[in-house]
A and B are shown apart, each in its own frame.
Chain A
Amino acid sequence: MNLAVQLPGLTMKNPILPASGCFGFGKEYAELYDLNLLGAITIKAATGTARYGNATPRVAETDAGMLNAIGLQNPGVNQIMEQELPFLANYDTPIMANVAGSTIEEYVEVAQKISRHPVIKAIELNISCPNVKEGGVQFGTDPALAQTVTAAVKEVSTVPVYVKLSPNVTDITAIASAAEAGGADGLSLINTLTGMQINLANRRPLLANKIGGLSGPAVKPVAIRMVYQVRQVTDLPIIGMGGVRTAEDVLEFLLAGASAVAVGTANFQHPFVCPEIIQQLPAVLEKYGFANAVEAIGKGHEHANTHLSRT
């Protein structure tokens, strides 16, 4: 079965890509399986200079999910380009660079640099990291700022720009529309939902950062709802994510309107989950009446009006 999907900058053999932050820069998973199997790879966020990130503990398990507060630890864009990207040139899988920053200038600097590296086929503009004190999520929760930073990055990027949206907003469609107005080539959603877990014994939040980002199957219905809502206000291609761990989950995101689907937390539970989903996807698509992956995109909207009128 033809699983290929075509998104701006990303010619994908299949709609599956690991989500940023869950896959490092690919090296560790390359020891487990052939990265050429993947539709694309989103690498860990790059910032202008090296960041150590937050204190530990940085992760905590929750029901059907986890909290993380890594804090954008990365060696900085220059180091990433010199030390990490050359390895990824060994694969014919398109690489999307996640770009983060504390200021518009930092986003611009990182995007300008990394978009010019030959292995980078697209940028995922991270305006939604909940785990850093400055920048990040404020750009993702204020539509005017979202539009400004998107436009600034679009101006310097030599590759298509996907804006990664935060779910920690009242109206996800307002931010999506702002990103589109800023010239985004696509959208990716959702980032993590902010959450907290308190240890009963010592009465302290379990994460050193106190607040972290919730991910995993627990957030999937939120993600599906948001992809669905965003699909109704824009024609931009969407990379959907949030709690994906099976080929059925992938189909659900395609139906909601995603053109590609990222897998995050599930990589920690099952390090081989991406190739397994890719292997199982044809049978799932066939079971639900699709002859290829593209056919399923947005098919959950056929009865959109009737459903919405009932709620």
Chain B
Amino acid sequence: MIHEQLKIISKQLIAKDTVEMTFRGRMAQEKILPGQFLHLLVGEGTNHMLRRPISIAGVDRQASTITIIFKLLGEGTNTLAKAAPGDQLDALGPCGQGYPVDDLQLEKALLVGGGIGVPPLYYLAQCLKRKGVHVTMVAGFQNKAQVFYENQFRLLGNYYLATDDGSAGEKGFVTDIINAEKLDFDQYFTCGPTGMLKAVSTQLSNQEGFISIEQRMGCGIGACFACVVPAPDSANGYKKICKDGPVFRAKEVVLT
């Protein structure tokens, strides 16, 4: 992890309230695994005392760029979104532990993402494809206006889309698609809201898989114990989401 002022080189709205932002910086030369995040300082002065953890959606080492995607959910993300190309954002990163792409032995991967949990899976899909793994992506969004990266995912493998209201793709949840399509895979990788993570990991409890947990964070480096998750089989009974995660083996932690 390093501390760097990352220069914004592009920013665009890619879906309703959803911003894609790309930075240039030497951080892109660090070893970055999908699932790792940037811990971004928001604004100036005392307005925002907590940084915002935002997962990395793409890395281009040659261009030395890192891309993130975040949703406008409140004052903090609204302020982040006001920064313009040319501005710099104070970033810690890459933070946490990502999906262990290099160590994985598999031929077919199932990726399941919900809403703002989709971005890290895009970077994961790229890394897996590069490794020769066949990727199937199941993405869930609230409605058509929220959908992003459909075409990008389709270039990397199979793609299924579900929306809560049926305005795009199938009407229903990602778990409905997994049920209906009888998808064939060796391991699964999921990221999204806790309810979805629970549903997916329960549905796929006979399979090996990884989950990435969202949680409000304090320091983002493992010092403050704000973001923990029970891990009954570990030495001390818990894991720190920001430092030991946000990616965990599905059976390693108990979602609460």
Question: Do most interface residues of chain A lie in helix, strand or loop, or is the interface mixed?
Answer: loop
Per-residue contact bits, chain A 12-31, to B (CB 8 Å; 1 contact, 0 not): 00000000011110011101
- The verdict on A265 contacting B223 (CB below 8 Å), with A56-B215, A61-B76, A271-B3 known, is no
Does A245 lie at the interface of the complex (its beta carbon under 8 Å from any beta carbon of B)?
A: yes
Whole-angstrom distance between the alpha carbons of A200 and B229 in the complex?
26
**Which residues on A sit within 8 Å (CB–CB) of B172?**
none
Give the total of A residues in contact with B, Cβ under 8 Å.
41
Does A290 lie at the interface of the complex (its beta carbon under 8 Å from any beta carbon of B)?
A: no
Whole-angstrom distance between the alpha carbons of A56 and B219 in the complex?
15
CB pair A216–B92 under 8 Å, yes or no, is no
- The verdict on A64 contacting B225 (CB below 8 Å), with A57-B215, A271-B219 known, is no
Whole-angstrom distance between the alpha carbons of A27 and B243 in the complex?
12
CB pair B225–A73 under 8 Å, yes or no, is yes
- Which among B44-52, B81-89, B125-133, B196-204 touches the partner chain? B44-52
CB pair B49–A23 under 8 Å, yes or no, is no
Does B15 lie at the interface of the complex (its beta carbon under 8 Å from any beta carbon of A)?
A: no
Among residues of A, the one whose C-beta sits closest to the C-beta of B236 is A75
**Which residues on B sit within 8 Å (CB–CB) of A301?**
none
**Which residues on B sit within 8 Å (CB–CB) of A66?**
49-50, 218
CB pair A24–B49 under 8 Å, yes or no, is no
Whole-angstrom distance between the alpha carbons of A270 and B219 in the complex?
9
Does A195 lie at the interface of the complex (its beta carbon under 8 Å from any beta carbon of B)?
A: no
Does A68 lie at the interface of the complex (its beta carbon under 8 Å from any beta carbon of B)?
A: yes
**Which residues on B sit within 8 Å (CB–CB) of A64?**
46-47, 49
- Among B48, B216, B238, the residue within 8 A (CB) of A59 is B216
CB pair A61–B49 under 8 Å, yes or no, is yes
- Among B1, B215, B217, the residue within 8 A (CB) of A31 is B1
Residues in A1-56 with C-beta less than 8 Å from chain B: 21-24, 27-29, 31-32, 44, 50, 52-53, 55-56
Residues in B202-248 with C-beta less than 8 Å from chain A: 215-230, 236-238, 243
- Among A50, A53, A56, A269, the residue within 8 A (CB) of B50 is A269
Residues in A129-145 with C-beta less than 8 Å from chain B: none
The 3 closest A-B pairs by CB, nearest first: A24-B223, A64-B46, A217-B46
A residues with a Cβ closer than 8 A to B are 21-24, 27-29, 31-32, 44, 50, 52-53, 55-61, 63-66, 68, 70, 73, 75, 79, 216-218, 245, 265-272
